[in-house]
């Protein structure tokens, strides 16, 4: 059970985006240019949110790891299932983001469109 090429390509893109989000939230959060990307307006607010952003960054890293591991083992049912679960989690997180704050439509699209395409590619016969 391997992922089709279209799904694999967009799964890799989704994974890389989530690694990038990890870097922003967990490693570069103290930079004003970074926290402003997430709509944080002051240094004080950024410091208050830092532990949450750090934790959320790792959540994104773990989703990326799920996709990468799933692709690495996509010839197996377990790997296929792992990739699908991670991609679906990424997509649903984007839905939650846009549902909770309509101003985050761009972030939700960046986070959610690649896994959506990857999952949609599973419906295309090989």
**What residues does each domain of the chain span?**
5-120
What's the predicted TM-score (pTM) here? 0.93
Are 119 and 87 in contact by the 8 Å Cβ rule? The answer is: yes
DSSP 102: G
The pLDDT tens digits along the chain (126 residues) read 788 999 999 999 999 999 999 999 999 999 999 999 999 999 999 999 999 999 999 999 999 999 999 999 988 999 999 999 999 999 999 999 999 999 899 999 999 999 999 999 988 876
CA distance 74 to 89: 17
CA distance 22 to 68: 15
Percent of the chain that is helix, strand, coil (3-state, to 5): 80, 0, 20
């Amino acid at each position: 059970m391997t992922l089709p090429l279209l799904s694999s390509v967009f799964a890799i893109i989704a994974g890389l985006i989530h690694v990038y989000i990890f870097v922003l939230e967990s490693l570069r959060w103290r930079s004003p240019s970074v926290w402003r990307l997430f709509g944080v307006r002051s240094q004080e607010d950024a410091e208050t949110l830092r532990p949450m952003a750090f934790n959320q960054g790792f959540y994104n890293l773990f989703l990326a790891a799920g996709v990468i591991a799933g692709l690495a083992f996509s010839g197996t049912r377990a790997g296929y299932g792992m990739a699908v679960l991670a991609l679906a989690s990424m997509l649903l997180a984007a839905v939650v983001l846009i549902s909770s704050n309509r101003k985050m439509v761009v972030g939700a699209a960046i986070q959610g469109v690649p896994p959506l395409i990857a999952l949609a590619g599973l419906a295309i016969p090989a």
